[in-house]
Amino acid sequence: MNSRRNKQLPWIHRWSRPILGAVAGLGMLNTGYLTATKLLGGETACPTDGCKQVLSSNYAEMFGLPLALFGFLAYAAILMFALAPLAVSPEKNKPLRNELENWTWLFLFLGSTAMLVFSGYLMFIMFSKFVAVSGLAGICYYCLASALFALTLFVVTLLGREWEDSGQLVFSGVIVAMVTLVGTLAAYSISHPAVSSNGEQVGEVDGRYIPETASGTAEIALAKHLTDTGAKMYGAYWCPHCQDQKKLFGKEASEQMPYVECDPAGANSQAAICQSAGVKGYPTWAVNGQTYSGTQSLQQLAEYSGYQGATDFKN
């Protein structure tokens, strides 16, 4: 009787839990690698500079921890919920097996829904803030893989069993999606505050980055010199390396430096100029006909630009 019933089950019902476990395992490998390289200070193997920009941006961290760590824990939970019932033999303890299958399916649906919504938000960030500026070079393939894993988990969960009350399922999914989206936005705003200890606005504010560090007279003089000589710093307000560069100049000097915003969502965006200049990564400096990638020390910028003023930089 059981063998005949199993033959009548769709193949996706028979294999749904092993598939979910395998996909979750791949997700753990993906996010585990990103977490390990971030925590151990290693460099992630990326095919493009844009991929590195994504993984080093503020969007790749939450509460001071790698975002991949939270993904790793989520995939681990899915793996446990998918495979735990299979450890109980239906011949020896059928009631326990049935009970585990019923409540773990609910957690699988709620968990995969939350992961799909969160991954969708991250895909929106990646395409709107990175791909829109750098083209295909702005794709983070690790992020894209994680999003595909999340989509696969959601689809297999939906198709992996017969759901008795589809209306309740839709209602639960909508609630989880709303909570996930609101929680994501709140978590990012809390973990990346835009107000300093003295109450002034700093950090990412209205599409621009305002450093908290103060400027000395040398920093201000260098910023003015760079502007007067036609130098350009191409960057994006969310780019951590650009933020480090502005911190070296300080709040007052950064307002006078020759900064070009490349993100279409940034304040006073000049994305078209960045594209015509062939900017591939942030920050990119153009000084005296030469280009320099990455954060530059103020001494280096003084040398590149022929600055002859004071060099007693504070930062």
pLDDT tens per residue across span 36-53:
998 887 778 888 766 777
pLDDT of residue 96: 83
pLDDT of residue 196: 42
What does the pLDDT look like over 116-139, one tens digit per residue? 999 999 999 888 877 876 677 778
Alpha helices, DSSP H only, in 40-165?
A: 49-56, 67-83, 94-126, 132-134, 141-159
Higher pLDDT, 314 or 177: 177
Using CA atoms of 32, 34, 39, 40 in order, give the dihedral in degrees to the nearest 10. 100
Beta carbons of 99 and 106 less than 8 angstroms apart: no
Q: How far apart are CA 129 and CA 122, in angstroms?
A: 10
| Mean residue pLDDT across the chain | 87
Residue whose tokens read 């399922």? 169
> At 309, is the secondary structure helix, strand, or coil?
coil
pTM: 0.69
What fold does the segment set 2-191 form as a domain? de novo design (two linked rop proteins) (1.20.1440)
- CATH annotation of 210-305: 3.40.30.10
Domain boundary assignment for the chain: 2-191, 210-305
What does the pLDDT look like over 48-67, one tens digit per residue? 766 777 887 778 888 888 99
User: Residues of the chain with pLDDT > 90: what percent?
Assistant: 50
